[in-house]
Amino acid sequence: MHINDIEAMNGTPYHLVKPVLEKCTAEQLLNIEHYNEYLLEDTDELWARICEKKYPNEESDDSESWRDFYIRKQRESEEKLRRLTSRIGHNNRINNPVRTAMQLDSPKAPREVRKRALAFGTSQVSVALPSAIEVSKSRREIFNSGSKASFQQLPAVIRAAKHSNVGAKTEKKVSAPPPMAGKRGALMAKTLKMLKNKRR
């Protein structure tokens, strides 16, 4: 049987269990005494050895037993640890206050994008725009008949735009090829040569 499993000894004399009790730690001895109070009359010598080993530079008062001395020192150590823990926690709260989470604004589009959206009235558009073919068809109907019904069919974004280029055709400018300097020089040389021969 392990010492931790020892509880009631049913009145076994102290001198018979002393060899076992001498091997106990303070916690184990306290536990055995809890179940066998009759041992308290004889275990003070065991407590004296425990206290002299754990508190070699301290002595008990004449009014208290070695067992009471050990219990008092344990309570003082626990209270000291509690105060130290409380002081550390207090200092941490002062030096490191709880930081509230920053409330971030909703992301904004770049300034140029917002300016274009305001200029073309597309800042709050959430519907799909018609295709370029549909816009061109509506424009032709408006131009030919002057009907407002076709104009009303266009999205408000396009109707509100002053200069909408949706559906507008763009013409590509075809630039003329650069002059062939080398070829012109050859023709000029040939012409000058012919004129020179005629003069002869």
Cα-only R_g, the chain: 52
Task: State residue 25's pLDDT score.
Answer: 94
Taking the mean position of all CA atoms in its chain, how far away is CA 134? 48
Task: Indicate if 147 and 88 belong to the same structural domain.
Answer: no
Contacting residues for 54 by C-beta, under 8 A, at least 6 apart = 26, 70, 73
Angle between helices 26-35 and 44-54 (to 10 degrees): 160
Q: Is residue 22 in some structural domain?
A: yes
Q: Which domain holds residue 151?
A: 129-159
* CA 100/CA 78 separation, integer angstroms: 35
Task: Indicate if 20 and 64 belong to the same structural domain.
Answer: yes
Q: Is residue 174 in some structural domain?
A: no
User: What predicted TM-score, i.e. pTM, was given to this entire model?
Assistant: 0.44
Taking the mean position of all CA atoms in its chain, how far away is CA 152? 50
For residue range 156-175, list pLDDT tens digits in order: 655 555 444 444 444 455 55
For residue range 37-91, list pLDDT tens digits in order: 999 999 999 999 999 999 988 887 778 899 999 999 999 999 999 999 988 887 8
How many structural domains is the chain composed of? 2
Q: DSSP string covering 17-41, please?
A: HHHHHTT--HHHHHHHHHH-GGGGG
